[in-house]
Amino acid sequence: MDPAITAADVLEACGGADNVTGNAVCMTRLRLVLKDPSRVDTDRLETLHGVLGVRRRGASGVEVVFGPAIVDAIGREFSSRTDLPLERKTAKAITQMTASGVRNVDHLHSTHRYGGADASSAPQGDDGLDKLRQLLESPGALTNDKGANRTTTTGPTALVLNGPNLNLLGVREPDIYGRETYDDLVHLVERAGRDLGFSKVACFQSNHEGVLVDRIQQALGTYDGIVFNPAAYTHTSIALLDALKAVGVPTVEVHISDVPAREAFRQVSYVRDACIDTVIGEGLEGYAHALAILKQHLDKKKGA
Ligand SMILES: O=C1C[C@@](O)(C(=O)O)C[C@@H](O)[C@@H]1O
């Protein structure tokens, strides 16, 4: 993908340079502020090569998700085409924006709010109940093994492991975890894995602690690294900590919500001790960030 061509296409779909008043990048997204948001062609944006997703933010913001491997190059290209400085938003700044409510406004495609101790949440109305029913009735819903997705022939392999209730993403407390589903997460992970140069990324979800222990054990000799959201077991499971320590497969812990801003009982992570890093409060894109950290670690290890 040529960042110059993609940036030009994005700019055109956003109504041209005179419609853009702010240009920033975070770990995975181009964050734009627009004079007239009605001039943004969201359908076109979503089909552009390299674009993983599009979100409206507030009255005048649009975020275009690219993944960590290319977002910076796109931001620089965008900056030179709009004559606007490129701001770089850190994960901390985004967490602060989230905490101060900047995210909690008008979203066109999906309501996508993460974290916050005060977030009230429940599946909304009939639509939420229908989605919940569909998720529970879908085959493999309770042990959602999406199998291995071969991306390229070289490069390391990763297992993306998800714990209890994450199969219900999309209907589960959407004010905290957003409206994207577990399938959306699998697609995001597959794309990020491909962009980052993994040869294989497999997703697996289970509601059962012992099944997760088994998967961690099976990862030894099968996968080069693990991205792990142990969900509620984060705060309780010595068995998962022991399994990670036993196999010694490099693992990045990830949490969708801003766990430090939530209840006291969520402030402990047993698994953290066995992880090389932790990504918190970045929504589903946090998994792409975690894969990027893992890839960097594995590349360094290979070069060492
Ligand atoms: O199930 C989850 C999800 C979570 O791990 C997250 O991704 O934000 C946070 C946990 O406290 C919670 O039990």
Separation CA 263–CA 6 (nearest Å): 42
Q: Mean pLDDT across the stretch 178-205?
A: 96
Which ligand 1 atom minimizes the distance to the CA of 255? 7
Tokens for 50, please give them. Answer: 């390299």
Compute, in angstroms, the gap from residue 257 CA to the centroid of ligand 1: 7
Complex ipTM over 0.85? yes
- Verify whether ligand 1 is closer than 6 Å to residue 172 (CB atom): no
Residues pairing with 63 in the sheet: 31, 55
Give the per-residue pLDDT at 71: 87
pLDDT band at 4 (very low <50, low <70, confident <90, very high): confident
- Verify whether ligand 1 is closer than 6 Å to residue 259 (CB atom): yes
Pick left, alpha or beta for residue 44 (phi over 0 → left; psi -120 to 50 → alpha; otherwise beta): alpha
Q: Mean pLDDT across the stretch 167-172?
A: 96
Q: Under DSSP, is residue 278 helix (H, G, I), strand (E, B) or coil?
A: strand
- Verify whether ligand 1 is closer than 6 Å to residue 256 (CB atom): yes
DSSP symbols for 134-170: HHHHSTTSSEEEEEEEE--SSS-EEEEEE-TTGGGTT
Active site residue 255: yes
Q: Mean pLDDT across the stretch 134-141?
A: 45
Neighbours of 108 (CB within 10 A): 13
Compute, in angstroms, the gap from residue 76 CA to the centroid of ligand 1: 34
Please check whether residue 20 is in contact with residue 30, taking contact to mean a CB–CB distance below 8 angstroms: no
Is 256 annotated in a binding site? The answer is yes
- Verify whether ligand 1 is closer than 6 Å to residue 181 (CB atom): no
| Sign, Cα dihedral of 222, 225, 230, 233 | positive
Please check whether residue 226 is in contact with residue 158, taking contact to mean a CB–CB distance below 8 angstroms: yes
Please check whether residue 264 is in contact with residue 197, taking contact to mean a CB–CB distance below 8 angstroms: no
Is 242 annotated in a binding site? The answer is yes
Closest by CA position to 141, among listed 170, 112, 121: 170
Query: Is there a shared CATH topology between the 3-99 domain and the 125-303 domain?
Result: no
Q: Which of 91-105, 231-245, 286-300 has the lowest average pLDDT?
A: 91-105
- Verify whether ligand 1 is closer than 6 Å to residue 257 (CB atom): yes
Give the per-residue pLDDT at 54: 82
Tokens for 212, please give them. Answer: 């997760």
Neighbours of 13 (CB within 10 A): 22
Separation CA 169–CA 157 (nearest Å): 25
Of all protein residues, the one whose alpha carbon is nearest to atom 3 of ligand 1 is 231
Give the per-residue pLDDT at 40: 92
Q: Break the chain into its structural domains and give their ranges.
A: 3-99, 125-303
Q: Residue 64: enclosing H or E segment and its boundaries?
A: strand 61-65
Separation CA 168–CA 164 (nearest Å): 9
> For the sheet containing 61-65, what is the strand order?
53-57, 61-65, 29-34, 20-25, 87-88
Neighbours of 265 (CB within 10 A): 9
Give the per-residue pLDDT at 59: 87
At the fourth CATH level, the homologous superfamily of domain 125-303 is Dehydroquinase, class II (3.40.50.9100)
Separation CA 180–CA 75 (nearest Å): 25
Compute, in angstroms, the gap from residue 231 CA to the centroid of ligand 1: 4
Separation CA 26–CA 21 (nearest Å): 17
Which ligand 1 atom minimizes the distance to the CA of 266? 11
Q: Mean pLDDT across the stretch 116-141?
A: 44
Active site residue 297: no
- Verify whether ligand 1 is closer than 6 Å to residue 232 (CB atom): yes
Closest by CA position to 24, among listed 57, 50, 48, 59: 57
Whether the predicted pLDDT of 2 surpasses 90: no
Compute, in angstroms, the gap from residue 82 CA to the centroid of ligand 1: 39
pLDDT in tens, 46-58: 777 777 778 888 8
At the fourth CATH level, the homologous superfamily of domain 3-99 is Glucose permease domain IIB (3.30.1360.60)
Q: Mean pLDDT across the stretch 16-20?
A: 93
Which ligand 1 atom minimizes the distance to the CA of 262? 11
Active site residue 223: no
| Stronger pLDDT, 26 or 149, i.e. the higher one | 26
